[in-house]
Chains A and B, each alone.
Chain A
Amino acid sequence: MTDDSSPEFAQELLDDFYAECDEQLGVLRDLLTGLETTRADPAPSCFEPLFRTMHSLKGNAAIVGLRAAEELAHVAESYLKGLTRGELALSDAGLEKLLQTVQRLESIIGAHRQRSPIPAVADLVDGLKQFASPAPATPATDAPPPAPAGEASTTPPPTPAGDLYRFTFSPSNELDARGVNLDAVRARLGALGTVRSSHPVIKTGGMTFEFVVETSTPPDAADWLESGVTLAPISSSDATIAASSVESPVVPSSLASEPLDLPAAEDQGASLFIAPSHIVRVDIGRLDDLLRIAGELVIHRSRLEDRLNHGITDSSALKEVNLSLTRSLRELREAITRVRLVPVAEVFARLPFVVRDLARSSTKKARLIIEGRHTEIDKFVVERLKEPLLHLVRNAFSHGIETPDERLAAGKPAEGAIVLSAAAEGGFVIIKIRDDGRGVDARNLVSRAQALGVSAPPVLDDKAILDLLCTPGFSTREETDRAAGRGVGMSVVRDVVQDLGGNLSLQSVPGRSTQFTLRLPLTLSIVETVLFSVAGQTCAVPQNLVQEIIETAQSAIQPIRQTLIIPYRNGVLPVVRLGNLFGATTPTPPASSASSGTHATARSTVPVIVIRSEAGFAGLVIDRVVGQREVVVRPMDDPLIQAPGILGATELGDGRPVLILDALTLLEGAIRPLSASERTEAAALIASSS
C-alpha cells in the first residue's frame, strides 16, 4: 500500500470522469437526435455506436460508484444491444425513453458533481425494461407484471459458482506511472472471475476501491499486493450484504450516491447544467502543432547561440534570428489559442431537449434548429454562455412562440421554429437566437414598465426595448410561467455577455420574429490592434475589424440628418468623429490633449479608419495613425469604468493605459442603410463638393 493516494488524485479522477461523461452524453444526444430527425427505419448498425457509448458510460459510472447511473445505463445498454442485433425494433416511445435516459443520466452526473441528491431512476429503469426484454415470449402488453417496489435494481446476482473475495485497490500516482490504474485492475479482476460489485471508499487521505469478486481460482495475495491491491476471502452471506448496502456506510454523505426519492429532478427546475468544467479535450493535431513550434524555437535559439559565439560583427544576423523568433512566438500564441477553442456544440447540444421538454408540457409546439454547431469559441466563453443561452431559448419559447391556433390564424405553421445559430466573424463569434413568433409587443412592455414604475422612453426602438427587458426584475408576463419566469433574467444575460467583452442586441419584428444577437470575442486576452491617436490620447481598435485606413479631406465630411458621411468608393461612408467622444464626456483633461486636438483639426486631411461589420462599413475619424501592435487586453471590470464601446485597456511599455475600443459598438448608430431620401441628399452633397 502506498500513501500518496492524495485527495487531489481522487479529485482528478472524478474530473476525468465528468469530462468523459460530458463527452459520452454529448455523443449519445447527437446520435439520438439524429435518429429522431431522420425517422426512417434505421438499420441495426446505426445503434452500434449508441450501444458502445452507453456501455463505456456504464463502466465509468461503475468506477466512481455512481450506482444510479450505472443501473440506468445498464438497462439502456441491454435495450440498445437488442436493437443493434436486430432483435428489437425502435419505436417512437422507445426513442423517447432513450432520450429521457440521457437526460436523467445527465442530471445524475450533474447532481454527483454538485454533491446534491441523486435523482431516482426506478421509473425509467422499469420503462426501459419493457422495451429491452424481447417481445416474443410475452406479447407486449400495456400492463407489465408489476415488480415489487424496491426490486427495481440491477439484475439479481446469480448464485455463487466460486468463492468470494474482497479486493481493495488504492490507486496512487506511483502505481499509475507503472500502468496500474483502475481500468487495469478491473480488467485483471474480470479475467480472474466475475466482479460482483465495485465501489469507491472515500476516507481522509485518499480514495480506495473495493471489488467483490467471485472466482474459483484462489488469487495470489502477494502478487496482487504489488499492484496496490489487498484481498481477503469473504463468506457468501457477507458478500450479499456488501453488495446490497454498498454505498451507505462507507461513503461520506457529501459524496453519497444512493438514489433518493426525487422523481425526475430535471423537471423540477433544477439547472440543466452542471458546474463549469475546466477540462479541454484537445485534438492531437493541435498538440503536434505546438510541439513543432517548440522545435522551431529550439532551432532559433541554437542559431542565436551560434551567432553570439562567433562574435557579433553585424547586427543583421541577429535581426534575422529575432525575426524568426517573433514569427515562431506568434505561431505559438495562435496555436495555444486554438487549443482553447471548443465547438459551440458543447453548449448547444442540450438545448433541443429543453425545447422538447417545454413543448411537451405546454400546448405550444416548437422545435429548435441548430446552425453552425462546429463554430469554435474559447472554452472560458462557452462555459459562461450556458445559462444565458438556456434563458434565451426558454424565453423564445414562452414569450415568442404563439399557440398553434394563434399561429395558424397568423398564417404560420402550427409548429414554431427557434433557430440557434453560431458563426465566426473576424475575431468574434456571433450567436443568434431567433424565433418566428409574435415579436416583442411594445405596448405591453410600456404598460408593464409603468406598472413597475420604470420610466420607458417615448420611442421604443429595439435598443430601448432591450434596455427595458434588461431592467432587473422586469418580465413581460403577468404570471411568470414555468419556462422563463425563474432563473437568470435578461439583465443577467446581458451582464454575462458584457463581462465576456461582448454585446447583446435585439431585433424584433412585431408579429413575425424576435432575434437576440450575442457578439462575443473568439478568444480573450491577446489581440492584434491598430493604434492611433485622437484628442491627444492613444487608442487601439482590433485589427480584424479594420477594412482599411483612408485619408479624407476635412471638407468632405458632411452632416446629413443625424449622421456624418464622406464619399467612399462609389457611395458614402457614415463616419463618427472619435474626438467628440473624448472631448464631450471627459473632464478637461490634463496635459497635452487640447493642443494636438486643435492641431489635427487645422489640417486639411484626416485619417479615417474604415470598420467593417456584418451590417456594412463605417468610419472612425481620428487624428493620426500610430501603427499596428499585438497587445494584451486587460479587462476593465470595476463598475466605475464599465463603459459601452470599451473592450479593455492595454499598456505599451510606458505604464499608461491605452483604451481598446469596441469600434462596432461605437459605430452602432452610424452603421445602417441610408433611407432613399438620405441617399439622394448624400448624392447631391457629394456632387457639389467634388
Chain B
Amino acid sequence: MTESDTYILFELAGSTYGIRSEQVQRVELLEHVTAVPNTAPSVDGVVFSRGKVIPALNLRARFGLPRLPYDRSTRLILLNVQQRVVALIVDAAREFKKLSPDSIRPIGETLHGVEGNYVEGVATLPDRMILLLDVAAVLAPEEIELPAGAPAAPTA
C-alpha cells in the first residue's frame, strides 16, 4: 500500500474539503477579526497569531457563496505555505483523516462553478466525497475590484 497523507477536513456550505496537514499550521476558534479597508472583498480582515498580523480570508466569499455570520463552529485554519501565513475562515473544522492516494483522483469535468477553480482533486470514500483544496489558487491575489491604489472615498 502506498503511503497515505493526513488531511485536515473542513466544512463549507454543505461540502467537505480537505487540506494536506503539512500546509496547516493550526486550527483556531475565531474570536475577532479586525476589518481592513481597501482590501479584496473576500478578505474579512486581520487576526493576530504569534505576534504576526495575518489576513483572514473568508472562503465562502472567495468561492462566491453567501457569507454566514460567525458562530461557535466557525474556525480559522492557519495555512503556512510559501513563507506566508494566511487564515481561512470556514464553517467548521473538526477532523483529521488519512487519505490513501488510491482514493484520490483529479477533478475532471465533474465540478463546475467557482469552487472548481480552487479544487485540485477529489477523494472518494465509501460514505462521502472530499474536495481537496488547491491552496495556491486560493491564496493567489484576487483581482482587486477597487480602482488601483485608491485610498478612502473622501466624501459621504
Q: Which residues of A contact B (CB under 8 A)?
A: 463, 467, 537, 559, 562-564, 576-578, 580-582, 584-591, 593, 634-636, 638-641, 643-646, 648-649, 651, 655-659, 665-670
Asked if B52 lies at the interface with its beta carbon under 8 angstroms from chain A, I say yes
Partner among B37, B141, B151 whose Cβ is within 8 Å of the Cβ of A582: B37
Tell me whether A669 and B37 are in contact in the complex, defined as CB-CB below 8 angstroms, given that A587-B61, A634-B51 are known contacts.
no
Partner among A641, A665, A670 whose Cβ is within 8 Å of the Cβ of B43: A641
Tell me whether A643 and B37 are in contact in the complex, defined as CB-CB below 8 angstroms, given that A584-B153, A651-B48, A656-B32 are known contacts.
yes
Q: Measured between alpha carbons, how far is A328 from B21 in the docked complex, in Å? A: 47
- What are 6 of the A-B contact pairs (CB < 8 Å)? A537-B34, A559-B156, A586-B35, A586-B37, A587-B44, A655-B31
Contact A641 B55 (CB under 8 A): yes
Q: Measured between alpha carbons, how far is A610 from B46 in the docked complex, in Å? A: 27
Contact B33 A564 (CB under 8 A): no
Q: Measured between alpha carbons, how far is A163 from B64 in the docked complex, in Å? A: 87
Partner among B35, B142, B153 whose Cβ is within 8 Å of the Cβ of A589: B35
Number of interface residues of B (CB under 8 A): 44
Q: Which of B34, B35, B85, B156 is the most central at the interface, judged by chain A CB atoms within 10 Å of its CB?
A: B35
Partner among B55, B70, B150 whose Cβ is within 8 Å of the Cβ of A644: B150
Partner among A638, A649, A665 whose Cβ is within 8 Å of the Cβ of B34: A649
Tell me whether A645 and B53 are in contact in the complex, defined as CB-CB below 8 angstroms, given that A639-B141, A655-B32, A655-B48 are known contacts.
no
Partner among B31, B39, B48, B67 whose Cβ is within 8 Å of the Cβ of A643: B39
A355 to chain B, nearest CB (A): 30
Partner among A580, A593, A634, A659 whose Cβ is within 8 Å of the Cβ of B152: A580
Asked if B18 lies at the interface with its beta carbon under 8 angstroms from chain A, I say no
Q: Which of B45, B52, B55, B86 is the most central at the interface, judged by chain A CB atoms within 10 Å of its CB?
A: B45
| A584 contacts across to B, CB distance below 8 A | 37, 153
Asked if B113 lies at the interface with its beta carbon under 8 angstroms from chain A, I say no
Q: Top 10 A-B pairs ranked by shortest CB distance? A: A586-B35, A640-B55, A643-B38, A581-B152, A657-B34, A641-B55, A649-B53, A669-B154, A656-B32, A657-B46
Q: Measured between alpha carbons, how far is A123 from B45 in the docked complex, in Å? A: 61
Q: Which of B31, B43, B57, B146 is the most central at the interface, judged by chain A CB atoms within 10 Å of its CB?
A: B43
| B151 contacts across to A, CB distance below 8 A | 644-645, 665-666, 668-669
| A669 contacts across to B, CB distance below 8 A | 151, 154
| A577 contacts across to B, CB distance below 8 A | 156
Contact B34 A666 (CB under 8 A): no
Tell me whether A638 and B156 are in contact in the complex, defined as CB-CB below 8 angstroms, given that A590-B70, A643-B37 are known contacts.
no
**Residue in B closest to A463 when the chains form the complex, CB atoms:** B149
Contact A590 B33 (CB under 8 A): yes
Contact A634 B154 (CB under 8 A): no
**Residue in B closest to A560 when the chains form the complex, CB atoms:** B155
Asked if B24 lies at the interface with its beta carbon under 8 angstroms from chain A, I say no
Contact A587 B58 (CB under 8 A): yes
B residues 57-105 with Cβ under 8 Å of A? 57-58, 61, 67, 69-70, 84-86
Contact B38 A656 (CB under 8 A): no
Q: Measured between alpha carbons, how far is A580 from B153 in the docked complex, in Å? A: 8
| B85 contacts across to A, CB distance below 8 A | 638
Contact A638 B35 (CB under 8 A): no
Q: A559-B155, A644-B151 are in contact. List 11 more A-B contacts (CB 8 A).
A: A581-B152, A587-B41, A589-B35, A593-B35, A634-B51, A641-B39, A641-B46, A643-B36, A651-B48, A656-B34, A659-B34
B4 to chain A, nearest CB (A): 32
| B46 contacts across to A, CB distance below 8 A | 636, 641, 649, 657, 659
| B152 contacts across to A, CB distance below 8 A | 576, 578, 580-581, 645, 666
B86 to chain A, nearest CB (A): 6
Q: Measured between alpha carbons, how far is A278 from B51 in the docked complex, in Å? A: 25
| B40 contacts across to A, CB distance below 8 A | 640
A645 to chain B, nearest CB (A): 5
A664 to chain B, nearest CB (A): 10
Q: Measured between alpha carbons, how far is A79 from B152 in the docked complex, in Å? A: 61
Partner among A467, A581, A586, A634 whose Cβ is within 8 Å of the Cβ of B153: A581
Q: Measured between alpha carbons, how far is A667 from B154 in the docked complex, in Å? A: 7
| A645 contacts across to B, CB distance below 8 A | 37-38, 151-152
Contact A581 B37 (CB under 8 A): yes
Contact A670 B154 (CB under 8 A): yes
Q: Measured between alpha carbons, how far is A385 from B138 in the docked complex, in Å? A: 33
B residues 126-156 with Cβ under 8 Å of A? 139, 141-142, 146, 148-156
Asked if B12 lies at the interface with its beta carbon under 8 angstroms from chain A, I say no
| A593 contacts across to B, CB distance below 8 A | 35
B residues 4-45 with Cβ under 8 Å of A? 31-41, 43-45
| B36 contacts across to A, CB distance below 8 A | 586, 636, 641, 643, 646, 659
| B51 contacts across to A, CB distance below 8 A | 634
B115 to chain A, nearest CB (A): 19
B62 to chain A, nearest CB (A): 11
Q: Measured between alpha carbons, how far is A580 from B142 in the docked complex, in Å? A: 23
Contact B47 A657 (CB under 8 A): yes
A155 to chain B, nearest CB (A): 54
Contact A588 B67 (CB under 8 A): yes
B66 to chain A, nearest CB (A): 11
Contact B55 A638 (CB under 8 A): yes
**Residue in A closest to B58 when the chains form the complex, CB atoms:** A587
Q: Which of B39, B58, B142 is the most central at the interface, judged by chain A CB atoms within 10 Å of its CB?
A: B39
Asked if B107 lies at the interface with its beta carbon under 8 angstroms from chain A, I say no
Contact A657 B48 (CB under 8 A): yes
Contact A587 B35 (CB under 8 A): yes
Tell me whether A537 and B35 are in contact in the complex, defined as CB-CB below 8 angstroms, given that A581-B153, A649-B46 are known contacts.
yes
**Residue in A closest to B145 when the chains form the complex, CB atoms:** A585
Tell me whether A467 and B148 are in contact in the complex, defined as CB-CB below 8 angstroms, given that A644-B38, A656-B48 are known contacts.
yes
| B141 contacts across to A, CB distance below 8 A | 639-640
| A651 contacts across to B, CB distance below 8 A | 48
Contact A638 B86 (CB under 8 A): yes
Q: Which of A589, A638, A655, A668 is the most central at the interface, judged by chain B CB atoms within 10 Å of its CB?
A: A638
B65 to chain A, nearest CB (A): 13
Q: Measured between alpha carbons, how far is A655 from B43 in the docked complex, in Å? A: 19
B88 to chain A, nearest CB (A): 11
Q: Measured between alpha carbons, how far is A107 from B53 in the docked complex, in Å? A: 40
| B149 contacts across to A, CB distance below 8 A | 463, 467, 644
Q: Measured between alpha carbons, how far is A263 from B141 in the docked complex, in Å? A: 45
